[in-house]
Structure 1
Amino acid sequence: MWDPTQYTRFRDERKRPFFELLSRVEVDAPTQVADLGCGTGDLTRVLAERWPGAVVCGVDSSVEMVEEARRRPSPEGVRFEVGDLAGWEPPAPLEVLVSNAALHWVPDHAALMGRLVAKLAPSAVLAFQVPANFEAASHRLVDEVRRLPRFAPKLGAGRARPVETLERYESLLAGLGMTVDAWETTYLHLLPGEDAVLQWLLGTTLRPVLAALGAEEGRAFVEELGPRLRQAYPAHARGTPFLFTRRFVVARRGN
């Protein structure tokens, strides 16, 4: 379902939140680190560079992404696995568990937080960021097109939005014995190229939609969506302005 080349088309915009998240992770010398939703592994390798003494495991549910990650050179101690983000079990308790823009694909975050905390060692850190732009025009237009009679039988009205509020994440994690630092940031991206917002969505949100439709109907879906996105997000000489909100959580487990 996933296309590594399409996903990395806006590499800088997708990487920036990871570094902002990582800047708030204060762990000196962990030995077990995991990256859930590692994609092509570029940011997993950053974790290995920061903590060269650690075993760093990148996990992704996409075979295509993991194959691409394994093809690229990695520091010693880095490995990549195909696995379910909620159900994957580390070989030893983790001192750092990071997830960058992946957990929104997993339903029921109330239960998910408990499963993630259970993977942690005492004093370990869970750090994740998730998109919080599901009410943006981009997502509303995708749902508008998926409800059209041509596509609705295969797609339905839209998928659930599993992302919780910052207050809810703090409450869930505090109840599990974690000390929580949580914040939200809205980025203004100036995306280059033609149909830039459509190209952004083709790397993420539209992947399961197109996989469900197949090639011919997928092309028809994109042809319906493209003009709507161009109207909602007019391009300028500097690029196409695209507001994108993300939620960040860094939580430390007690001793």
Structure 2
Amino acid sequence: MTTPVWDPEQYLRFADERTRPLRDLLARVPEVPHQPAATVLDIGCGPGNSTAVLRERWPEARITGIDNSAQMLATARTTGEPTADYLLADAVTYDPAGAAPDLIVSNATLQWLPGHLGLLPRWAAALAPGGVIAFQVPGNFDSPSHTVLAELRRSPRWRDALGEDATRAGVHRPGDYLRALADAGCTPDVWETTYSTLLTGPDPVLEWVKGTALRPVLTRLTDPAAREAFLAEYGALLREAYPAGPQGTVFPFRRIFAVGTKR
């Protein structure tokens, strides 16, 4: 799978919309041990927008943001949440055991990691007694924003340049996360929500996916002319799939949420 090069500015164009699911997730997180100075890990912290929300909820906590993108961490340290600590590390190989966290949060990260169900037992084992795992992932892989992208990537014009690994790893069904958390010794709370967001401006859905799902494709298309040709073709397909109305473009996106409290 292609390791994407991230663009913090592009990602944060829709910062409010991207952060709302995290706020909804944290609303279901019970009180964690060692209040108020809990130890909190933000795994896949990106540009620090998620870390800032964690600081709002736990102002005195020891918060560490972990991400494998130096570009994202540079933004997190300056304009994201400067009071937190940050660590450049891969979520798959990072071992949280040494931190003995009270809370592990992962906001829209696990969908990039093949085999991520296997991380949950390790994370649960690392938690302090009564600690919590909380994560949310997109559940819209069967939406046009993704299916059109996959079809275009496999088309004769683009399949040699992009290949099958230019997409993200994917997610599991909500029940799979519930069972995985229960098997890891946690009391699970799993649900899903579909948000309907009104996007405005030219090609707003294209601008949205440029910050997330499209990053592996843009990383591989290093030739500017090829990149512009792909964006033009994909943008036209998105305009057909998501027609603009008088007030903007309605963009539904489904999210899967999971909270596990260590028993």
Report the TM range for the smaller structure's normalisation.
over 0.9
Aligned match for 1:206, one of 214, 228, 237: 214
CA positional deviation for 1:13: 0.9
CA positional deviation for 1:73: 6.9
User: Are 1:15 and 2:24 matched, yes or no?
Assistant: no
User: Are 1:237 and 2:246 matched, yes or no?
Assistant: yes
Using a 3 Å threshold, how does the CA distance of structure 1 residues 74 and 147 change in structure 2: closer, same or farther? closer
CA positional deviation for 1:215: 3.3
CA positional deviation for 1:75: 6.0
Residues paired across the two proteins, number: 253
Any idea what the Cα deviations from partners look like across 1:190-216, whole Å, max 9, x if unmatched?
A: 111110100001010111111012133
Aligned match for 2:230, one of 204, 221, 232: 221
Residue 68 of structure 2: aligned partner? 61
- The letter for the 2-side match of 1:168 is D
Using a 3 Å threshold, how does the CA distance of structure 1 residues 172 and 52 change in structure 2: closer, same or farther? same
Contact 2:124 2:185 survives alignment (8 Å): no
CA positional deviation for 1:168: 0.8
* Structure 2: gaps of 5 or more residues: none
Residue 94 of structure 2: aligned partner? 88
Question: Please, which moves more after superposition, 44-53 or 60-69?
Answer: 44-53
CA positional deviation for 1:11: 1.3
- The letter for the 2-side match of 1:7 is Y
User: Are 1:138 and 2:142 matched, yes or no?
Assistant: no
Contact 2:141 2:170 survives alignment (8 Å): no
Residue 183 of structure 2: aligned partner? 175
- The letter for the 1-side match of 2:202 is E
**CA distance in 1 between partners of 2:127 and 2:228 (Å):** 43
Residue 54 of structure 2: aligned partner? 47
Contact 1:86 1:116 survives alignment (8 Å): no
Identity percentage of aligned residues:
45
Any idea what the Cα deviations from partners look like across 1:149-187, whole Å, max 9, x if unmatched?
A: 232113224646431111111111111111000000001
| Other structure's SS at 2:74 match | helix
Contact 1:36 1:98 survives alignment (8 Å): yes
Residue 34 of structure 1: aligned partner? 41
Aligned match for 1:248, one of 238, 251, 257: 257
**CA distance in 2 between partners of 1:202 and 1:75 (Å):** 26
Relative to the length of structure 1, the TM-score reads: 0.94
Residue 109 of structure 1: aligned partner? 116
**CA distance in 2 between partners of 1:2 and 1:57 (Å):** 20
CA positional deviation for 1:105: 0.5
- The letter for the 2-side match of 1:236 is G
CA positional deviation for 1:242: 0.7
Aligned match for 1:187, one of 176, 179, 195: 195
Residue 170 of structure 2: aligned partner? 162
| Other structure's SS at 1:118 match | helix
* Structure 1: gaps of 5 or more residues: none
